[in-house]
Structure 1
Amino acid sequence: MAPADGDATSPDDQYDGIDPGIEAGTTAYWKARARQWEKRCRQAEREKTELIAELLKLRDVRKAEPSHAAARRAAVLGGDVYPGTGEPPRAR
């Protein structure tokens, strides 16, 4: 179901993981929403930490043994080149 004009979320997304018995706009609803965002932020931090660890590991691999795929992946994760193109970002 597509959201109506001016409506940021559809009715299906409104209770995204929140007990449907909690009325939208109440303090309990916003507390549940805040807990939900805290959980998402912690998940994003874990993923970021894992990606940094992978980047560091790929850089170590690149230093130890030249491998085109590992070097390309490290360059993309490091922001040195665009994914799929192999070209560096252009200055604005």
Structure 2
Amino acid sequence: MLNTDYAVMAMGGFSGTDPALTVERLEKMTEKGEVKYFLLSGNGGRQSETVNTWILENCEKVPSSEWNSETTEETSDEASIGRGQTLYVYQGNQ
């Protein structure tokens, strides 16, 4: 994400507990094409459970082989990136 010109936002703020993003706001943002991808941690993160549920119900899981590069060094920073995370993509009203 950092090597692109795409905007990135953290849902839930720094600690993940800021309820600024509601399902209604998320629906509007996806319909306008303002947001398309969602990276959720293995534990679902600490953002709103209703927002997580909306993502799971309205987005498709992206196979990790398409976005998570493998590395041979388990101790490297890259080895921990993506571990326990799932990427979802919104593809419009299905």
TM-score by length of 1: 0.21
In proportion to residue count, which structure has more helix?
1
Greater CA radius of gyration, 1 or 2? 1
